[in-house]
Amino acid sequence: MYEQISANIWRSRILIVLFIAFFILFGYVLSYYDPILMPLAIIVAVLMTVGSFYHSDKIVLASMKARVADKAEFPHFVNSVESMALAAGLPTPKAYVIDDPSPNAFATGRDPEHALICATTGLIAMMNRQELEGVVAHEMSHIKNYDIRFMMLVAVLVGAIALMADWFWWSARLGGGRRRSSREGDQLQAILMVVALVFMILAPISAAMVQAAISRKREYLADASGAMLTRFPEGLASALQKIGSSAMPMESANKATAHLFIANPFQAGKLANWFSTHPPIEDRVQKLRAM
């Protein structure tokens, strides 16, 4: 278990370093054509980060119509959040519920002091006490490991790369960039248009694939860390099996928030698995039962 946690931490660090290097290299290359692209992308990325840091949890809750979990209505869920926070040595996160029959849950916030755990009514109704504690422990681990902040940074970088690719495309089409002689400009303009098209297609796709890879590593890490909190990996393994066997997609989820959940809230095909932010449930269950 400890080896798996250590390996996932280092893989995630390597991926995020490569991601930031790709962002810088991409901006540096584009700045040769249009010097304003890189500083503009950095400014936008900073503004996106600040906005996400302070308001992302409120936006997510509002978009999914979540409500505060009443202890009288959901005693086992609220008690599980309180007990897992105690086991993790963290402040107790706020507990929320979404009125949705599909079983799922997520954690969000900017740090352990400003975090929350949200579960669907379908998940609370489907799970027994040990399975519910396993799910809550998984989400508590996302908070303890600062995945909630880590993945926010990754999402901002993906957005900034997509914006740079889009700006580069329009700058090339509108004839922007550095001033050159007429003949040199005509030749480079044709080349840059091709480069812009390639970057516009490949850069956001590559960024999304790296984001998915980072997110999958963090899910494995949260599974292992959650099993450590409960000291009972079978609880989470059984919960994941129940979630995986449910063919009911979430009514309130959207693509922007899909990476937050313990399992993909949508039914994905084989091609979509390349960009899935969640590893296969069967593999997660196998790893948990091997602990």
Residues near 290 by beta carbon (within 8 Å), at least 6 away in sequence = none
The C-alpha atoms of residue 266 and residue 110 are separated, in whole angstroms, by: 25
Geometric angle at alpha carbon 129, from 128 and 133, rounded to 5°: 115
How many CB atoms lie under 10 A from the CB of residue 164? 28
Contact present, 263 and 175 (Cβ < 8 Å):
no
CA angle 207, 209, 211 (to 5 degrees): 70
Strand partners, 96: 68, 118
> Helices marked H in the chain — which ranges?
2-33, 37-63, 75-88, 121-126, 129-144, 147-173, 182-230, 233-245, 281-289
Query: Counting beta carbons within 10 angstroms of the beta carbon of residue 267, is it exposed (0 to 12), middle (13 to 18) or buried (19 or more)?
Result: exposed
The residue from 3, 82, 113, 139 that is catalytic is: 139
- CA separation for the pair 42, 263 (Å, rounded): 32
CB atoms within 10 A of CB 57: 22
Residue 139 known to be catalytic:
yes
- Catalytic positions are 139
